[in-house]
Amino acid sequence: MTGIVKLSKKTYYTIVASSVRYANTRIPADEWLEVSGVLIGKNQGDDVIISEAYPIMHQELDKNAVIDQYKWNDEDYLSLSIIDDEAFSRGEFTVGWWHSHPGFRIMMSHIDIQTTLSYQQNNPLAIALVFNPQRLTRQIELPDKKGDPVIQLENDPGFKIFRLDDVSKGVQASYHEVYFEIEGFNNVVQMIQQAQKFVIDVTNFLPKSKLNERYESFVNERVNQLNSLLVGTEEYLKTLTRQGETSRVAGVLESQTKEIRKYVAETFIKIGNIKEFMDYLEYKERDLIIPQVNKILTRWDEAIAKLDEKLAEISQKF
């Protein structure tokens, strides 16, 4: 088989975001957790076309365990069933799986081989994608032997894709890398730069827990600051008027209005990030969390609904 794997920018970002959510600079390294999901798409000759990546679950932290374990529950299996049905309805299917190796080598363990085997026995073109956030952010790979220097990389997306050589050998099967293309970027340098910036955004704005509290605090802060800007502008203009500096009013009002609109635009970008991040939640989280987050975000919509009217009122007073 000499085919390649093609995946979109969105698919790549889904894997990056859902992995970084549980392994980033805000979390102690000994609490980083692996994340696992499935890849949806279709075969096209010897090529594999991936249309979607779905995060399904993450390891549970157990500091007393030698290795944190994956513990699939009924919700995870239900998620897989729903995803399969939705994919089938549009002529696609599960073409493989993906998982993260936070802070350690990109390779396939015996457990990974066993999981890949379950996909590849039914579909010879099935694949396994392994991603390490640090490989992307630091552009390094750990050495084969402990004590050896790290391997310096260049323009590496942080993952490799594997396929088993001979499924008849079961968990003893060897594996090889599969060539891939990530679509949606102008060039590889741009891809890495944007992906590394994306990691920062995810680290700062997609917490592994208490999302509602994080986003509610953000919205409340932005709404309060907007109100303070409006009140502050009006009070400043009142002061200028009392001091007989009415000639400055028009210029100050124009300047303050620009600052307020800039603040609103910046907030809309962050709101857009929050909405985008909802696509990177584990499948079982979405039905509960997304409606709650949307409700939180409506407070911002309500706050700016009459912004033009409020600015006009301030202008008319002076």
Domain boundaries, the chain: 5-205, 211-317
Nearest C-alpha neighbor of 163 from the set 254, 97, 221: 97
**Residue 108 CB contacts under 8 Å (≥ 6 apart), including other chains:** 116, 128, 130, 162, 175
Determine the pLDDT at residue 62: 64
Dist. CA 106–CA 1, nearest whole Å: 22
What 180-188 contacts at long range (C-beta under 8 Å, 24+ apart), as own/partner pairs, is 180/4, 180/5, 180/6, 180/7, 181/4, 181/5, 181/6, 181/7, 182/7, 182/8, 182/9, 182/12, 182/157, 183/6, 183/7, 183/8, 183/9, 184/8, 184/9, 184/10, 184/12, 185/9, 188/155
Dist. CA 184–CA 158, nearest whole Å: 17
Determine the pLDDT at residue 73: 85
> Residue 241 corresponds to which tokens in the numbers above?
């008027």
Helix 74-89 × helix 283-304 angle, to 10°: 80
> Residue 154 corresponds to which tokens in the numbers above?
């260049």
Determine the pLDDT at residue 143: 83
Maximum distance among all Cα pairs of the chain, rounded to whole angstroms: 90
CB 129 within 8 A of CB 119: no
Which parts of 95-132 fold into alpha helices (H)?
110-120
Helix 188-205 × helix 249-277 angle, to 10°: 90
Measured between its terminal Cα atoms, the distance across the chain in Å is: 75
pLDDT in tens, the chain (318 residues): 579 999 999 999 999 999 999 999 999 999 999 999 999 999 999 999 999 999 999 988 766 554 546 677 889 999 999 999 999 999 999 999 999 999 989 999 999 999 999 999 999 999 999 999 999 999 999 887 788 889 999 999 999 999 999 999 999 999 999 999 999 999 999 999 999 999 999 999 999 999 999 999 999 999 999 999 999 999 999 998 999 888 899 999 999 999 999 999 999 999 999 999 999 999 999 999 999 999 999 999 999 999 999 998 988 888
Three-class DSSP category at 58: strand
Q: What is the CATH number of domain 5-205?
A: 3.40.140.10
Determine the pLDDT at residue 68: 47
Determine the pLDDT at residue 208: 94
The third-level CATH classification (topology) of the domain covering 211-317 is: Topoisomerase I; Chain A, domain 4 (1.10.132)
The DSSP secondary-structure symbol of 41 reads E
Dist. CA 283–CA 244, nearest whole Å: 62
CB 197 within 8 A of CB 206: no
Q: What is the pTM of this model?
A: 0.91
